[in-house]
Chain A
Amino acid sequence: ILNVEQSPQSLHVQEGDSTNFTCSFPSSNFYALHWYRWETAKSPEALFVMTLNGDEKKKGQISATLNTKEGYSYLYIKGSQPEDSATYLCASSGSARQLTFGSGTQLTVLP
C-alpha cells in the first residue's frame, strides 16, 4: 500500500447502532497513526495518536486499534448518536515526516 486508504467512503447508521471504519496505511517506515474527527466548516479535532503495534485507545464511546505489521487501524463507535455525524480522517506519518491523510469516512447517524 502506497497511500492511506479509508473505507467505507460513507456510511449511514441508525441512532444506537455501533459501527467501525478501516484505515490502511503503508507498514514500512511507519511512525504514527492519527485519527481526526471533522465537521464541515470546523477544525478537524484530534481523536487519537497511536504508535505501537497492538495499541488500543478509547475516548468515550469511540475506540481505535492499531496493527503496524499489516498496516491497518480500526475506529469503533459504540452506540452512535446524531452528534457523532462527521467525517473521520486517518493520517499516517512515515519516513516522509509529514502526515499523509486518507480521504475520510463520512458518517451520518440518523435519529
Chain B
Amino acid sequence: EAGVTQFPSHSVIEKGQTVTLRCDPISGHDNLYWYRRVMGKEIKFLLHFVKESKQDESGMPNNRFLAERTGGTYSTLKVQPAELEDSGVYFCASSQAHPWANVLTFGAGSRLTVL
C-alpha cells in the first residue's frame, strides 16, 4: 500500500511569492489533515478534510493560506503571498476513521523556506 506522499519535499521561495504544496493521501482514506512545524516548535494542526469538505479549519493562521481537496482525493495547500514566518515543515496525514482513537499516517512533509 502506498503511503501518504507530499510534493515538493523542499521549496525555497522569496517573500511575497506563492507556493502550492500537494498531498496524496492513502487511497480510500476519507480524512485528510494538514499540520505544520515551525522553527523547531511543536507540530500544529491547520485543518481537516472529510472527503472534499472542510471539517475543521480552525488552525489556519490567516487568509494567505488556502486549502482545497477537489473530488475528495489529493489536497493542495497554497500560501499566497508567503511571509518569512511561514517557513517550516508542512505535514499531511490521512486516516480512514477520525483519529480520536485511530492512527494517522503521515507524509514525510514539505519543507518551506521563505527568504
Contacts and interface: CB of A to CB of B under 8 A. Distances in A.
Interface of A: 4, 31-32, 34, 36, 41-46, 49, 51, 89, 91, 93, 96-104
Given A41-B109, A97-B98, 17 more contacts: A4-B42, A31-B100, A32-B99, A32-B101, A34-B104, A36-B106, A41-B108, A43-B107, A43-B108, A49-B101, A97-B100, A98-B33, A98-B48, A98-B58, A98-B59, A99-B35, A103-B42
B12 interface: no
Interface size class of B (residues with CB under 8 A): 20 to 34
A44 B91 contact: yes
Given A51-B101, A93-B100, A44 B41 contact: no
B103 interface: yes
A104 B42 contact: yes
A102 B59 CA distance: 16
B85 interface: no
A74 B106 CA distance: 22
Contacts of A97: 56, 98, 100
B102 A49 contact: yes
B66 interface: no
B32 interface: no
B106 A98 contact: no
